[in-house]
């Protein structure tokens, strides 16, 4: 079986420039069948170290657009140490600009977004929602405009993506009795945190359907006693934070979003329309 070919698109911004260049090059090889894995909004060397390790273990290339010198130097040096192919897509042209036009670059990420602030804010929000979905990285809690909390299957991810298209940066955190919530959750302003709840019967129905779709018939995940335990635990966390709570039992994502934004508007989080 042929090993899949992967290109890690690494950027301290959205990464659109790198993705377009990778696709243009890939189109010259067997129809452009290559997997593109985004690593956007790189902020420190830990983000880079993770992608270097992942690249070392796969048949892959790192294509990057990093304008912050310390991040670029780290990626260049570590990729050489690990024998990983890392291609700089931006700096050669930037250096040509500097030499030919006798100007120094600002070396600040995301400046291009000023060309179309609303469009790029939306793209940034979507990337943010993906990066900080399902409690993957607790750093997103402090950086988010809105933080959603709730048990599994309360529409946290769909709601996060819907709000992202309205240009809100949303992080969501699952509440599970066996897993201690991140400390950042109790430090965030309650004015931007929203709890999502659902009736036990409705959640039971949703989880049973989820298991059916996965080809599973029996699981504690859909057990009613387990659901009651989770909901009780989640309610305690929400009360501790003091955040508003929305019951999503019979609401479409759009309806929940409108209600959520109206609630947050009263608390000082304004609309971005």
Q: Give the other-Cβ count within 10 Å of 123's Cβ.
A: 20
| Cα 215 to the center of its chain, rounded Å | 28
Q: Give the residues across from 37 on adjacent strands.
A: 8
Whether residue 157 is annotated as binding a ligand: the answer is yes
Q: Which two tokens stand for residue 162?
A: 């819907």
State how beta strands 245-247 and 193-197 pair. Answer: parallel
Whether residue 151 is annotated as binding a ligand: the answer is yes
Closest CA to 198 of 154, 143, 245: 154
Whether residue 217 is annotated as binding a ligand: the answer is no
Closest CA to 36 of 11, 61, 17, 14: 61
Q: Give the other-Cβ count within 10 Å of 68's Cβ.
A: 14
Whether residue 155 is annotated as binding a ligand: the answer is yes
Are 235 and 154 in contact by the 8 Å Cβ rule? The answer is no
Whether residue 100 is annotated as binding a ligand: the answer is no
Whether residue 199 is annotated as binding a ligand: the answer is no
Q: Give the other-Cβ count within 10 Å of 134's Cβ.
A: 13
- Give the burial string for 169-199 (b: 16+ CB within 10 Å, else e): bbbbbbbeeeeebbebbeebeebbbbbbbbe
Whether residue 56 is annotated as binding a ligand: the answer is no
How is residue 2 annotated by DSSP? Answer: P
Helix 200-213 to helix 224-241 angle, to the nearest 10 degrees?
120
Whether residue 156 is annotated as binding a ligand: the answer is yes
**Binding positions for ADP:** 150-157
**Binding positions:** 150-157
């Amino acid at each position: 079986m042929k090993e899949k070919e992967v290109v890690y698109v690494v950027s301290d911004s959205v990464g659109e420039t790198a993705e377009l260049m990778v696709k243009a090059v890939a189109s010259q090889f067997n129809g452009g069948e290559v997997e593109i894995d985004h690593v956007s909004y790189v902020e420190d060397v830990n983000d880079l170290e993770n992608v270097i390790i992942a690249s070392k273990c796969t048949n892959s290339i790192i294509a990057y657009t990093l304008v912050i010198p310390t991040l670029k130097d780290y990626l260049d040096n570590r990729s050489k140490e690990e024998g990983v192919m890392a291609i700089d897509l931006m700096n050669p042209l930037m250096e040509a600009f500097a030499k030919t036009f006798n100007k120094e670059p600002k070396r600040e990420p995301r400046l291009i977004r000023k060309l179309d602030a609303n469009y790029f804010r939306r793209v940034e929000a979507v990337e943010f929602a993906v990066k900080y979905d399902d409690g993957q990285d607790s750093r997103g809690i402090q950086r988010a405009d809105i933080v959603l909390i709730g048990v599994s299957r309360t529409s946290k991810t769909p709601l996060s993506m819907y709000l992202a298209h309205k240009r809100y940066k949303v992080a969501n955190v699952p509440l599970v009795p066996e897993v201690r919530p991140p400390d950042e959750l109790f430090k965030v302003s309650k004015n931007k945190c929203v709890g999502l709840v659902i009736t036990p019967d409705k959640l039971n129905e949703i989880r049973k359907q989820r298991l059916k779709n996965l080809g599973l018939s029996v699981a504690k995940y859909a057990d009613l006693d387990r659901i009651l335990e989770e909901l009780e635990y989640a309610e305690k966390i929400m009360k501790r934070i003091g955040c508003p709570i929305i019951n999503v039992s019979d609401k479409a994502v759009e309806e929940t979003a409108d209600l959520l934004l109206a609630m947050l508007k009263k608390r000082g989080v304004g609309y971005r329309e």
